[in-house]
Amino acid sequence: MASSSQPRLFVTGASGQLGRRVIAALRRRAPDAHLVAGLRSPEGEAGEALRAEGVEVRRADYARPETLAAAFAGIDRLLLISSSEIGQRVAQHANVIAAAKAAGIGFLAYTSLLHAETSPLGLAGEHRATEALLRESGLPFAVLRNGWYTENYAASIPAALAHGVLLGSAGEGRIASAARADYAEAAAAVLSAGTALAGIHELAGDESYTLAAFAAEIARASGQPVTYRDLPEAAFRAALVEAGLPEAFASLLADSDAGAATGALFDDSHSLSRLIGRPTTPAAVTIAAAVRG
């Protein structure tokens, strides 16, 4: 194991949008730590870029347990960023947790979903199952129950500007989202602190909004008229498919909006801002950046 003055911190999925930001945040928060990035294909451009920043890169494929044993050797603390392969997450996460336990890792943090134990979202089931695996593992752990990324809705801004309409199925539900960088900063804070921040963290933005307000902010930032059109879940799903999204992804987005209508994406605990030591990024900032392109 590394010495306590230079802990070895491992980030899985380090080439992803969240993982890259966690690595950057750790470089600021834990300059004395030895950072190790886990990539499915460490030979690619992402691996080269990380190595150029002084980050050690190791092969770590959730679906290939044989890669995990070598990847986790000598690691003190591990961040398990949830797999993007919906339907396969529980088995893949189980591989990571088992390998972490076998490697003697002293602390594991996992990116889950806001209010996972009660969330009506279809995404919640695999997160609940993974949290159960963590509890059963005996490893010291933290659960980062991330709320919605503002970027999830910002991705719809080009279409909203093109048609003057933001479609959704969230009704008057309030969404307490935050920027992806805010959640990355929280993950870095927890991984840096280790067991001092063990436990469950419900993480969401300081401010909340309805999708009607989100559309109004797009209009304000762009100077173009944009209104919100609320649709039944099935109609919203069909509209997304017609726009070219795969059916599974369209169903996921429509289900998430329907959950938002009942409060599934709202939390006012301000745990995220306390954890990162600053206010979360306002949605208006993310919207303005997306409008500028």
- The CA R_g of the chain, rounded to the nearest whole Å, is 19
Residue 52 DSSP one-character state:
H
Residue with tokens 């695996």: 133
Beta bridge partners of 209: 175
**Which residues in the chain come in under a pLDDT of 50?**
1-4
Please tell me the predicted confidence (pLDDT) of residue 286.
98
Model pLDDT for residues 115-129, shown as the tens digit of each residue: 999 999 999 999 999
pLDDT for 5: 64
Beta strand ranges found along the chain (DSSP E) = 8-11, 34-39, 56-59, 77-80, 107-113, 141-146, 165-168, 199-203, 227-230
**What pLDDT was estimated at residue 144?**
98
Q: Tell me phi and psi for residue 107, to 5 degrees.
A: -165, 135
Q: How far apart are CA 83 and CA 181, in angstroms?
A: 18
Give me the pLDDT at residue 1, please: 43
Specify the pLDDT at position 6. 86
Going from N- to C-terminal start, the domains of the chain cover 8-147+179-203
Instruction: Determine whether domain 8-147+179-203 maps to CATH 3.40.50.720.
Output: yes
- 208/197 Cα distance (integer angstroms): 26
Q: Which pLDDT belongs to residue 89?
A: 96
Amino acid sitting at position 244: G
